[in-house]
């Protein structure tokens, strides 16, 4: 059994489409897909469509529609980043993630995990308990809304007795979840950030500490895995979290890097 781990990353997730295309060409289709945030959405799309090239065509159309209502974060200007952060945090509280996903709702609202052609597993974070929540049964739409609710950008989602948000809060590379399915092989995609990072203030320092912590945890989970893990590292620094118009450019980046690593493995 082959398990594919798809991380979150906002618009950078378009690179994952290129990875899926590469997997198809190498005849390495996954049996199970474990997704976080945008990675979960792509996993569902691939399970429904069943063809990477077709999913890429659909995603390019959707990106133009979504990008038209989201501000771009692709700027190094601290002033404009500050203005954009205010815009997003206030505007998104009025327009919930559920309203933003209205393009997909008619197709997903009644869809159950059990209906998907491939097994898809999603991860979200329970803000009340601080624990990871695994979604693999029931409503696909509700699980997507939960795993894609980025704190500070989209409101959290109440489900049963839990308050759920983006699974990436706890882990953006849930290899431990992938191992629950007794795989023979795990392919994990990592979103890497540039090692050159300017520390201008306390906020930058906190971001660097968090990035280092996450990277070390990911490396530990990879090294300690009893199963061979093929890691595809994607260096994606030029596209912002919500820069969906630019995100489509990353499809070729994901494809090229994945083909290189998969053929060498």
Q: What pTM does this model have?
A: 0.82
Give the pLDDT of the chain (265 residues) as one tens digit per residue: 999 999 998 888 889 999 999 999 999 999 999 999 999 999 999 998 899 999 998 877 766 655 444 444 444 444 344 434 433 444 444 445 555 555 566 667 788 999 999 999 999 999 999 999 999 999 998 999 899 888 877 788 888 899 999 999 999 999 999 999 999 999 999 987 655 556 566 655 666 666 777 777 777 788 888 898 999 999 877 666 666 666 778 899 999 999 999 998 7
User: Cα angle vertex 256, ends 37, 52, to 5°?
Assistant: 55
Q: Whole-angstrom Cα distance, residue 98 to residue 176?
A: 29
Please state, in angstroms and as integers, the Cα–Cα distance from residue 249 to each residue in 121, 223, 235, 238, following that order: 27, 32, 13, 10
Determine whether 223 is exposed, middle or buried from the number of CB atoms within 10 Å of its CB (0-12, 13-18, 19+): exposed
Q: What phi and psi values does residue 45 have, to the nearest 5 degrees?
A: -60, -40
Q: Whole-angstrom Cα distance, residue 189 to residue 64?
A: 25
Second CATH level (architecture) for the domain 2-263: 3-Layer(aba) Sandwich (3.40)
Q: How far is CA 89 from the centre of its chain?
A: 20
Q: Whole-angstrom Cα distance, residue 117 to residue 115?
A: 7
Per-domain residue ranges of the chain: 2-263
Given this model, what pLDDT does residue 82 score?
A: 40
Q: Whole-angstrom Cα distance, residue 31 to residue 37?
A: 19
Given this model, what pLDDT does residue 135 score?
A: 97
Given this model, what pLDDT does residue 192 score?
A: 78
Given this model, what pLDDT does residue 84 score?
A: 42
DSSP-assigned states of every residue in 55-72: HHHHHHHHHHHHHTTS--
Q: Whole-angstrom Cα distance, residue 246 to residue 242?
A: 9
Given this model, what pLDDT does residue 53 score?
A: 93
Given this model, what pLDDT does residue 70 score?
A: 47
Residue 152 CB neighbour total at 10 angstroms: 12
């Amino acid at each position: 059994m082959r398990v594919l781990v798809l991380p979150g990353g906002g618009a950078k997730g378009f690179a994952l489409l290129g990875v899926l295309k590469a997997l198809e060409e190498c005849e390495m289709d996954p049996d199970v897909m474990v997704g976080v945030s945008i990675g979960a959405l792509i996993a569902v799309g691939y399970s429904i469509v069943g063809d990477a090239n077709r999913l890429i065509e659909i995603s390019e159309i959707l990106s133009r529609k979504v990008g038209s209502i989201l501000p771009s974060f692709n700027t190094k200007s601290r002033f404009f980043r500050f203005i954009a952060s205010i815009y997003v945090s206030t505007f998104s509280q009025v327009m919930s993630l559920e309203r933003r996903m209205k393009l997909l709702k008619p197709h997903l609202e009644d869809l159950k995990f059990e209906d998907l052609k491939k097994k898809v597993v999603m991860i979200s974070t329970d803000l009340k308990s601080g624990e990871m929540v695994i979604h693999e049964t029931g409503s696909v739409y509700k699980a997507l809304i939960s795993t894609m609710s980025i704190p500070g950008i989209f409101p959290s989602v109440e489900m049963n007795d839990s308050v759920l948000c983006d699974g990436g809060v706890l882990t953006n590379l849930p290899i431990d979840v992938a191992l629950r399915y007794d795989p023979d092989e795990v392919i994990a995609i990592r979103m890497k950030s540039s090692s050159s990072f300017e520390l201008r203030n306390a906020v930058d320092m906190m971001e660097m500490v968090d990035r280092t912590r996450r990277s070390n945890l990911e490396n530990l989970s990879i090294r300690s895995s009893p199963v061979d893990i093929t890691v595809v590292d994607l260096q994606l620094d030029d596209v912002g979290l919500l820069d969906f118009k630019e995100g489509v450019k990353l499809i070729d980046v994901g494809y090229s890097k994945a083909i290189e690593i998969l053929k060498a493995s």
